[in-house]
Amino acid sequence: MADRATSGAPVLLVAASGLAREAAAAARAAGREVVGCLDDSEALVGHRVAPELPVVDCIDDVDRYPDAELVVCAGKGAVRERLVHRLADHGVEAERYTTIIHPGATLAPDTVVRPGSVILAGVVATAQVVVGEHVVVMPNVVLTHDDRIEPFATLCAGVVLGGAVVVGRAAYVGMAASVREGLSIGAASLIGMGSVVVRDVPPAETWAGVPARPLEPG
């Protein structure tokens, strides 16, 4: 259970998005206090993106909340990564990030979830699964034995990974896609929704279909 423990500190979400609304609901379901969101849109500050989720400040005002733990809630992994680097320029270190794990997720005791990641309801992780930093795992994803999800990856709702799958850094696996055991999804690659992946996907490619094949650019 390394890196899964969370403190009682309040949670501050970065980026006022649909994911932030989902993360806030999951955090509250887990008994966490949610301060609100930071966002780059000054027009949103002082307003709410959900009844109990105010936009309290701009992202560059993170220094005003030294006691809050952070989760970056941009939907795209590459954007999450840019925001993490930007927050580092404000002195935000890795220790400031927390995990949000919905109590409706079923994670084996040896599951590792690194800081900054969000695990939503219905997720199942079976044995020796590792979820890296700032990963988003949407509802009803199945992670089987020895899967490894690299930092900033996104697994959309209903994704199923066979055993010993590696999902690369900032890769995006679309809704209801499935990946055969032992394969790798390259860094920054995109897998279309409903795809069935039966061979390794190189980095920075877009694949879709049954079986999944690379799509030509444009």
DSSP bridge pairs for 160: 142, 178
Going from the C-alpha of 81 to that of each of 85, 161, 193, the distances in angstroms are 6, 23, 23
Q: How far apart are CA 113 and CA 5, in angstroms?
A: 9
| Residue 97, SS3 per DSSP | strand
Question: Annotated catalytic, 145?
Answer: yes
> Does residue 211 have a cis peptide bond before it, meaning omega lies within 30 degrees of 0?
yes
Q: How far apart are CA 201 and CA 74, in angstroms?
A: 24
Residue 207 near residue 195 (C-beta atoms within 8 A): yes
Residue 14 near residue 59 (C-beta atoms within 8 A): yes
Q: How far apart are CA 122 and CA 107, in angstroms?
A: 10
Q: How far apart are CA 117 and CA 155, in angstroms?
A: 11
Displacement of CA 31 from its chain's centroid (Å): 19
Which residues are designated catalytic? 145
